[in-house]
Amino acid sequence: MSSILIDNLSTDGELLECSIRASSDLERFVTDERFRTEYDVSIEDVPDGVLAIPVLAQVCPVAWANGADVYVDEVDATFARALEDVKASLCAMHDFLEGGTLYARRTIEVEPEHSGESGLLFTGGVDSTCSYVRHREESPTLISVRGWTITPDAADDGKWDALRARVSNFADDHGCETAFVESNMLSFLDHPMLLAHYKRYVDGGWYSSVGHGLGLLGLCAPMAYARGMADLYVAATHWDGIDLEWGSRPDIDDHVRWAGTQCHHDSYALTRQERLDVIADYIRSEDPDLQLQTCNDRMDGNCGECEKCYRTAVGLRLTGLEPSQHGYPFSDADYRDLRRSLERGDWVLGQDERHMWADIRDRARETEPASPAERTFFEWLENADVDALISTSGSPLTHRLLRAGARNAPASVYNTAYPAWKTAKAGLRLVRSDR
């Protein structure tokens, strides 16, 4: 029977570790790494049933994709019930998910002490900054995670240092605390192999399309328990009316909960442009020097040349703000380069970008252009076939061939070839995050 076993759960101050054993048919999805997560608060007094949540939040979707069962010694009863609700939502969204059962020797019901604290997953992008503005009266703890878009590899140390510095500076300026979480939540699983098997079913990557709502929130459970957090917010990427197969939605995130903590999918009622409106109002009234960070290529500022930088800069223009004052090197001359890149299919884009550019087009119809170059771009966008622009972009053929080869290779062959596969496939580890 297909199964995943969580074993040897242990803590050492701020470090959580455990082993994962998979049945032979699932071995290709699990590496030899132990699962590890490090917090900046002691988790020694957190019950084992809550300590199990981070790893369960990562492996359960993998199990559900294969009709496998998951075994663990102890689990928080509230989270176990949450998993059933999340499983139902994910299985309803993705036809390829089969489901499975969680088995535990013990379930626990505990009542942690509440500190009145709330938390917000935060990068400084449009979505998480909007959520901060909406909940700033709570002074939420700003939580940043290393392990998804910033990997645990030493090569990403500079990116993590830049993110920590930027979030810490934001927190200092706005009277908030921070929490930093570091995990190998993707590399302990064979993420390239998950992509090889399931990319054909999803618009984004495995984690973005299936796992990241449950995964990122669950990763925070021991820290939230230790700090007494009653509420944990994750900013919406999409909005009401967009029915995309995405791993973080209200029907997933709002189900996630454990002893003492309820999670919330925030700002789903607002489009991305409306979230920029919220930020623009806040800038005008309280924080004129606010800087946003959304770049796909850098963590120490915005490159101003990737699709996401351009999209955010145009959105800021539509709110009446000057992008160059809020982190984006943008001028009228960039409209020509932006149009050219969209027409040539220079970026790998998906259905979420289609909705975001359509959102910009809707707002542009209501906005008087500030310059001839802006007018020309808005007129082009009004008549452009956004669906066609998105369809011309996609992952390179070599990546698709690598996925097919890995998907069809026997596990023994794949494991022998894994080092070369990992090097060739490194680009496919990258997944989008719009928070």
As a whole number of angstroms, the distance between CA 186 and CA 148 comes to 7
- Return d(Cα 328, Cα 293) in angstroms, integer: 9
Pairing verdict, β 15-22 and 3-12:
antiparallel
- State the average pLDDT over residues 142-171: 96
Task: Calculate mean pLDDT across residues 102-129.
Answer: 94
pLDDT of residue 341: 95
Say what the pTM is.
0.89
Q: Give the pLDDT confidence score for residue 390 in this predicted structure.
A: 84
SS3 75: strand
The CA–CA distances, whole Å, from 123 to 58, 338, 407 equal 21, 25, 33
188: which 2 tokens? 């302990």
Q: How far is CA 206 from CA 58, 66, 136, 372, in A?
A: 11, 14, 32, 42
pLDDT of 435: 59
Summarised one tens digit per residue, pLDDT across range 50-97 is 999 999 999 999 999 999 999 999 999 999 999 999 999 999 999 999
Q: 54 is written with which tokens?
A: 């981070």
What is residue 107's DSSP assignment? E
Q: What is the pLDDT of residue 325?
A: 97
Measured between alpha carbons, how far is 1 from 227 in angstroms, rounded to an integer? 39
pLDDT band at 429 (very low <50, low <70, confident <90, very high): very low
Of 77, 14, 55, 264, nearest to 147 (Cα)?
55
Question: How is residue 286 annotated by DSSP?
Answer: T
Task: Calculate mean pLDDT across residues 251-258.
Answer: 98
When pLDDT is cut at 50, 70 and 90, the band that residue 129 belongs to is: very high
The answer to whether 311 touches 318, Cβ cutoff 8 Å, is no
In the predicted model, is pLDDT for residue 417 greater than 60? no
Give whole-number Cα distances, 137 to 117, 118, 287, in Å: 12, 11, 15
Name the amino acid, one letter, at 186.
L
* Single-letter residue type at 213: G
d(C-alpha 20, C-alpha 278), whole Å: 44
Using pLDDT thresholds of 50, 70 and 90, give the confidence band for residue 393.
low
Q: What is the reported pLDDT for 176?
A: 97
Average pLDDT of span 307-316? 97
pLDDT at 428: 39
Buried b (16+ CB within 10 A) or exposed e, 354-387: bbbbebbbebbeeeebeeeebeebbeebeebebe
Residue-wise over 334-352: b if at least 16 C-beta within 10 A, else e? bbeebbebbeeeebbbbbb
pLDDT at 287: 98
Residue 432's pLDDT is 38
pLDDT at 424: 42
Element (H, E) at 12: strand 3-12
pLDDT of residue 202: 86
Of 6-10, 187-191, 199-203, the least confident: 199-203
Mean pLDDT estimate for the chain: 91
Q: How far apart are CA 62 and CA 183, in angstroms?
A: 18
Sheet architecture: strand order including 178-183: 102-108, 69-76, 3-12, 15-22, 35-38, 178-183, 141-146, 117-121, 229-235, 261-266, 257-258
Q: Name the most confidently modeled range: 31-45, 337-351, 378-392.
A: 31-45
CB 383 within 8 A of CB 416: no
Residue with token string 């900054």: 129
Helix segments in 212-345, DSSP class H: 212-219, 221-227, 250-253, 272-285, 307-318, 334-344
Three-state secondary-structure class, residue 263: strand
Query: Is residue 47 scored above 80 in pLDDT?
Result: yes
